[in-house]
Amino acid sequence: MRVLYFLLFVLIVSCTKTKENNINETEKKADNPYYEKAWLYLDQKNPVNAFQYFNKAKEIYLKNNDSLGVGKCLMNMGIILTDQGDYFGAQETSLEATKYFKENNEKDYSYIRANYNNLGIINRNLQNYIKAIDFYDLAISFSLNDLDKQVYLNNKANVFRENKEYAEALKIYSNVLKSLKENSKEYSRTLSNFAYTQWLQNPNKNPISNFNKALDFRLQEKDQWGQIGSYRYIIDYYTQKKPDSALIYATKMYGVAKTLKSPDDQIEALQKLVILENPEKSKQYFLTYQKLNDSLQTARSKAKNQFALIRYETEKNKANFQKAQADNVKKQNQILKQYAGLGILGLVLIGGGVWYRRRKKILQQEKELEVKKTELRYSKKVHDVVANGIHRVMTKLENQEHIDKETMLDDLEIVYEKSRDISYDHEKNNDLSFGEKLTEMLKSYSSDDLQLVIIGNEEIQWDKLNKNTQAEVFYVLQELMTNMKKHSKATRVVIRMSRINEEITIRYTDNGVGCDKLSPKNGIKNTGNRMESIGGTINFDAVSGEGFKAELKFSVQ
């Protein structure tokens, strides 16, 4: 028998379990091979494989963004779990299905109401009666024809009956019966439920006439699922009143259940036979019941484990896929960042290169301009100072008959000192430190015939002195060295520099011829003026034949 699976539960009620004999072939055909194969396994009564292939079909629908397809798969998976007794797993799956149905699209209504009906069945079995009624009401709200509404109303009434709200249940059954035609499956089912509920409400009520009326139609229509429902109610009624009659109907129920290969109905019939039969047969029925029940429970436990494993693997694969996607996105972002970084670095390098070349060119141009300015400035100074000075001396030579040699020498020395000042002014622009310049200047006077010893120059920290002090000290030492070169005939010169706190002392000593007194016409007398200009002093010790000494003292400024 081929069965449209979700309609199985639309027609489930507590008093009867009816299944559709008609096949909805359109529902089973789809553009998803896994979905079609799932229905194939359902027809073969293989719920585990059916569940697995509905799950595979769902993944295909997810990739194709087919929300209805995803919802259908989840709905059928929920129904399979319900049929296998995994009510919590079924509820989770069916609630997930609701997210994929579009409640504003009538094409989805048949699946929406079937899914809500399944949620009603789940909560009824979990004895969550209020929730069950809410879900049945939702199923009713999405029903487009009266027959569907009557089915769900019947199911809703069964919940009231199980909760012992008999009056509310009878009210619904009565309204349903009024809207149905007699001699129909749904009428027979509702009539059986109505009569059974009346008897539960009032045990003195005799429901047999209505039971038989419903059973006769079911026998005539060969509605075997409906027959089981009728037998169930009749057995319950006759068990206390007419146990022999109850035994007859229990035997019939067991036979039909075996024909339908319905293990649940077989177990229920065997339970009744164990109670109703004589001890010998009761024992046989009990052994059959025990074996079948154990087998069914084992099969369902195994199926539940398999369903759980399928769901676990699905979630695991989904998590791995999402992680792989996240890793891929992260990797792509890293690559983009690297490309962006390289691009920025490239732009910076290109921009830096352009800037460097332009800057270098500008600096070169500025340097060349500065050189030209310096050359022009020194050219002007040489012209104004040296050339004019020499021209003045030459004029004196031309115009004076008697030439004073000492005066002429003094004039030439003045020109010499000025030219030397120009030289130092040029040197101070180079990149050497003052200490290095000073050493370089002093060593320029040394030769094979003159030993020069410089002590303490590195400890003075010249660069912390102001430029004017540096210049005056430079000129004074230069004058001492020039004087030595011109007059002393020394072979050894020692210059010792020291610093005590904020005072610097420089001692000059040579082993030259010395002198009795310093000539006022000699350029060395200008050293006193220079030292005085920086707040310092210079003292000389010059004795003929004993060399020449000078001591410079000044404060750090």
114 and 94 Cβ atoms separated by less than 8 Å:
no
DSSP 96-109: HHHTTS-TT-GGGH
Q: How far is the C-alpha of 163 from the C-alpha of 176, rounded, in Å?
A: 20
C-alpha dist (Å) from residue 261 to 219, 264, 336: 18, 9, 63
Q: Which two tokens stand for residue 363?
A: 């600096």
Question: 125-169: per-residue pLDDT in tens?
Answer: 999 999 999 999 999 999 988 888 999 999 999 999 999 999 999
Q: How far is the C-alpha of 479 from the C-alpha of 473, rounded, in Å?
A: 10
pLDDT computed for residue 329 by the predictor: 72
Instruction: Name the phi and psi angles at 500, rounded to 5.
Output: -120, 115
502 and 469 Cβ atoms separated by less than 8 Å:
no
Question: pTM here?
Answer: 0.55
* SS3 assignment, position 504: strand
Cα angle: 542, vertex 548, 550; to 5 degrees? 90
Which of 545, 534, 538, 544 has the alpha carbon at shortest distance from 524? Answer: 538
pLDDT computed for residue 22 by the predictor: 35
Q: Which two tokens stand for residue 102?
A: 């579009």
DSSP 435-482: HHHHHHHHHTT-BTTBEEEEESGGGS-GGGS-HHHHHHHHHHHHHHHH
CA 474 to chain centre: 69
* Burial (0-12, 13-18, 19+ Cβ within 10 Å), 141: middle
450 and 490 Cβ atoms separated by less than 8 Å:
yes
CA 314 to chain centre: 24
Instruction: Name the phi and psi angles at 86, rounded to 5.
Output: -90, 75
Q: Specify the CATH architecture of the domain 433-555.
A: 2-Layer Sandwich (3.30)
Which of 505, 494, 515, 491 has the alpha carbon at shortest distance from 538? Answer: 505
73 and 54 Cβ atoms separated by less than 8 Å:
yes
118 and 90 Cβ atoms separated by less than 8 Å:
yes
Tens digit of pLDDT at every position of the chain (557 positions): 333 343 343 343 333 333 333 335 555 556 789 999 999 999 888 989 999 999 999 999 999 999 999 999 999 999 999 988 899 999 999 999 999 999 999 999 999 999 999 999 999 999 999 999 999 999 999 998 888 899 999 999 999 999 999 999 999 999 999 988 877 889 999 999 999 999 999 999 999 999 999 999 999 999 999 999 999 999 999 999 999 999 999 999 999 999 999 999 999 999 999 999 999 999 999 999 899 988 888 877 777 777 777 766 666 666 665 566 666 677 777 778 888 778 788 788 888 778 788 877 787 777 667 656 655 565 655 645 566 557 556 755 665 666 666 666 666 766 766 666 665 555 555 568 899 999 999 998 888 999 999 999 988 989 888 999 999 999 999 999 988 888 888 999 999 999 988 899 999 999 988 776 655 445 577 888 899 999 999 999 877 778 899 999 999 86
* Burial (0-12, 13-18, 19+ Cβ within 10 Å), 394: exposed
Instruction: Name the phi and psi angles at 240, rounded to 5.
Output: -90, -35
pLDDT computed for residue 402 by the predictor: 67
pLDDT computed for residue 414 by the predictor: 67
Q: How far is the C-alpha of 188 from the C-alpha of 181, rounded, in Å?
A: 10
pLDDT computed for residue 17 by the predictor: 37
Instruction: Name the phi and psi angles at 33, rounded to 5.
Output: -60, -30
3-state helix, strand, coil in the chain (%, to 5): 75, 5, 20
pLDDT computed for residue 401 by the predictor: 65
Map tokens 């060969």 to a residue.
222
| Count of CB atoms situated within 10 Å of the CB of 386 | 15
pLDDT computed for residue 541 by the predictor: 86
Residue 525 per-residue DSSP state: G
- H helices of 382-433, in order, are 388-399, 405-427
Which of 270, 521, 298, 538 has the alpha carbon at shortest distance from 411? Answer: 521
Domain ranges of the chain: 386-421, 433-555
| Count of CB atoms situated within 10 Å of the CB of 264 | 15
Q: How far is the C-alpha of 194 from the C-alpha of 462, rounded, in Å?
A: 119
121 and 9 Cβ atoms separated by less than 8 Å:
yes
Q: How far is the C-alpha of 151 from the C-alpha of 199, rounded, in Å?
A: 22
pLDDT computed for residue 412 by the predictor: 72
Question: 501-550: per-residue pLDDT in tens?
Answer: 889 999 999 998 877 665 544 557 788 889 999 999 999 987 777 889 99
Question: 267-306: per-residue pLDDT in tens?
Answer: 999 999 999 999 999 999 999 989 998 888 887 777 777 7
Q: HSE on the CB side for 314, CA within 13 Å? A: 19
Q: Which two tokens stand for residue 554?
A: 């000044």
